[in-house]
Every structure is written in structure tokens, then in C-alpha cells.
Amino acid sequence: MINSLGIRDAEVIWHPYTQHKNLDLPIPILKGNGSLLFDDAGNSYIDAISSWWVNIHGHSNPYIAEKIYRQAQDLEQVIFTNFTHEPAVRLAERLISILPGNQSKIFYSDNGSTAVEVALKMAIQYWINKGITGRNTILAFENAYHGDTFGAMSVSGRGIFTNAFKDFLFDVVFIETPNADNLEEIKSIIKSKKEKIAAFIYEPLLQAAGGMNMYDAENMDQLLSFVRSEQIICIADEVLTGFGRTGSLFASESLSNYPDIICLSKGLTGGFLALGATACRQFIFDAFLSDDRSKTFFHGHSYTANPLACAAGLASLDLLQEKTCLDKIREIQFSHEQFVSASLSKSHGNFFLNPRFMGTILAFELNDGKNNYTNNIGREIMKQALGKGIYLRPLGNTVYLMPPYCITDEELNKIYRFILSIPDVLKV
């Protein structure tokens, strides 16, 4: 069958994170249902990564689709300055009621990167509005990823994603993720620069695009306690880790020190529509209240608080907070735990390195001597998996699963079987 849509695509489309030189034509997807994607040749693929981590309830969920349809009949978009609307207010109320850390205000944007940009600008202007000069440096983790806009790139780890733009990124104080051996050294670095640091941004417990790096909650709590004692604003990037991915609704719930600002996107709308949200505590908001209009937060987006996206967010929360969904998250976590301990850790000697899981996320490295994002082994695994009806997209030699919560046991076991077959597929 001629891939006519793929041919047309190749003429006019530039895909994200894609090197188009000698690239196979993209697969036309005609339909999605639950965990499955269906192409124009009648093949189905288990979406093992929730389409870049957004489709937490699977594809074409009828409940979310119906809520968007109903909202579209009443109001599809309105400027969000002098006006407001029910879906935006209700979604903010719902988020504030479940977010950790006594969040009090929601600022809407349209994706994870912009949610991060909003948080950074809030934190920097907070100190300016308070009349305190010089606190304009951001503290961040090495190997972090916070997005592809310039502020988000600046606070991300330097590497292949940012190298072309390194001369345009602002300076950041980078530290390692904390462990028992480096915690005191990290504290010393922070203490020596605390007068300049406006905020600390971090991905709680899991650095995703940086290689699914999972780190210890106890040491992170000690670090956050110290950072807070130095009066540094804490920003949790929960764009990925939010909405059940790490087992709890938000990864920050696993810590006793809560953030002052939280960035949200991805699973927020169940994968239906683009929406970002940045939550903040009352003291952040209060710093912008003034008769002096220069203290206004001058930031916005044309589609801020889009009513359709907010309706999708409300519907996704409805599903997420159902007992059946919460139980399914725990079941997936248990399945990952069993697979890691009973199968992956004991298979093929030392070929599967550092198998690990957190909530619905499972990850490991392939021992092929090339530990980086551009490792072609990831492309080969993706190709072989597609041939078995599974969509995986490894981060170089880091293979991970992040399935939608509606995945069936049969589908999950099919993915596990493919993983165990990788050494044979690659003829290791």
C-alpha cells in the first residue's frame, strides 16, 4: 500500500525532535481508541508512552470528548483579561483543592514550556516588586529538562537540546540531584550564592527527558528544607510528574517540603488539547498587588484559559479521581515492580542496566557502550517494536514505558514480552 499521506507529509511538514535526512515516511494514524493507535493499513499499535506522556486516559476517551463537544456549543474562546468563564474558574478551584503546598492562584498558559516561563518570570519579578535587587539567578539541577523556549532551555541541563543556543541562554547555578554523598557540598554551593538566587526549579523525584533519572525523596526533602531556610522560592516542574504518573497525584506529595510555585501541563487535559497552568502561593501573588502598574505581571497568551481546554481538564480530573483510575495506577505500578524484580533484573546478564520504576513509569538502559540521546539503538528498538504492534520511543539507549492508565493487562504483558526479546532482536 502506498503511504500517500506520508508522502504528502514529507513535502510540507517539519516534525519535532526529528532528523529528516534518510527518514522513513511517518505512519498515518487514522484513529485512536484506549491504548491503541490505528494506521491506514489496518495495523494497531499499543501507545506505550501515552503519546509523549499526555494521554493519561488513552485516546478518544468518550467522556472527555463529550464534555468538549458540549462546551463548544456554548463558548469556544474568549479573551481572558476583562472576561472570565465557568470552566476556567472551576478548573482552578479543582486544581487548588488537590495541589500540595497551599497553592492559591492559577495562571493559565498553553503548554509545559510556557508554564515554566511563567513560573520563572513570577519568581524573578517577585524580588523586583519587593524592592530587593540582585536576586535574579536561578538554581537548577544538572541534566534537567524544562522545555524548549529560551527561559526553559536556560534552566535545563546543557547538552544536545541546548548546544546551538548556548550563547543566548542566561546563566544558571547548576547542582547535582542530592544524595547522601553530595548533599553537604550542594548546600555549600547554595549558601555561597544565596544572595543572588531568586528561585530553585526542579523536577520532583524524576528527571524525565534527561533519561528517566529517579532520585531519592529523603535527600530531596533535606535539600528543599535547606533551600527554603535560605528564603529561596521553590518551583516544582510537575509537567510530567503530575496527575498520577509517579503513583500519587503529584510527585511533591511524596515530600514534606512543598513548592511555592507548581508548573502543570501534559496530562492536565488527558491529551485532548494544549493547556498549561502555573499555580502559586498567596505570598507570590501579593507581591504583584500594587497601585503601581509597573508591578503588574505582564505576561499572557492569546489562548489563555481556552474554554474547550479547561473543559477537557475538568473531565480528565473527573476520570483521574475515580476509584477505578486510582486503583489502575496502583495496579500498573505493581506490574512494573513484579516485572523488574522477577524478569528484567534476572534477564540476559548485564544487558539491561539499572531497571527502575516509579508509579506508572518503568525505565532501564541497554548496555551497548553508548550512553547518550543520539544513540541509534533507540531508533532500531522503535522500528522493531512497531513491527510487533507497540510504539516505544527510547531516549537514546534509555528505554522506558509510560502507558495510559486504561492499558489492559494483556497489552502490558505484550510490551513486557517484547522488552525481554530485545537482546534476541538486536542479536546481542
Helix (H, G, I), strand (E, B) or coil at 372: coil
The greatest distance separating any two alpha carbons of the chain, rounded to the nearest whole angstrom, comes to: 70
Q: Domain 75-320, what fold?
A: Aspartate Aminotransferase; domain 2 (3.40.640)
Nine-digit cell string for 59: 485516546
**pLDDT tier at 1, thresholds 50, 70, 90:** low
pLDDT tens figures, 199-216: 999 999 999 999 999 999
Helix (H, G, I), strand (E, B) or coil at 196: coil
Q: Residue holding cell 474547550?
A: 308
| CATH of 4-61+323-423 given 3.40.50.1580, 1.10.420.10, 3.90.1150.10, 1.20.1090.10 | 3.90.1150.10
Helix (H, G, I), strand (E, B) or coil at 268: helix
When pLDDT is averaged across residues 334-340 and rounded to a whole number, the result is 97
Positions marked catalytic: 17, 145, 237, 266
Q: How many CA atoms lie within 13 A of 229 on its CB side?
A: 9
> What sign does the CA torsion over 65, 68, 69, 70 have?
positive
When pLDDT is averaged across residues 23-34 and rounded to a whole number, the result is 96
Alpha-carbon distance 157 to 238, whole Å?
Answer: 17
Is 75-320 the same fold as 4-61+323-423? Answer: no
pLDDT tens figures, 217-251: 999 999 999 999 999 999 999 999 999 999 999 99
When pLDDT is averaged across residues 23-51 and rounded to a whole number, the result is 97
pLDDT score of 126: 98
Alpha-carbon distance 132 to 124, whole Å?
Answer: 10
Whether the pLDDT of residue 374 is over 80: the answer is no
3-state DSSP of 50-109: HHHHCCCCCECCHHHHHHHHHHHHHCCCCCCCCCCCHHHHHHHHHHHHHCCCCEEEEEEE
Alpha-carbon distance 260 to 100, whole Å?
Answer: 9
- For the chain, give the mean pLDDT: 96
Helix (H, G, I), strand (E, B) or coil at 157: coil
**pLDDT tier at 86, thresholds 50, 70, 90:** very high
pLDDT tens figures, 96-134: 999 999 999 999 999 999 999 999 999 999 999 999 999
pLDDT score of 369: 65
Question: Using an 8 Å Cβ cutoff, are 155 and 120 in contact?
Answer: yes
Question: How do strand 233-237 and strand 261-264 relate by DSSP bridges?
Answer: parallel
0.95 exceeded by pTM = yes
Which helix (H) or strand (E) segment holds residue 235: the answer is strand 233-237
Segments making up each domain of the chain, as ranges: 4-61+323-423, 75-320
pLDDT tens figures, 251-292: 999 999 999 999 999 999 999 999 999 999 999 999 999 999
pLDDT score of 428: 62
In 205-275 the beta strands, taken as DSSP E runs, fall at 206-207, 213-214, 233-237, 261-264
Length of the chain: 428
pLDDT tens figures, 382-425: 999 999 999 999 999 999 999 999 999 999 999 999 999 999 88
pLDDT score of 288: 98
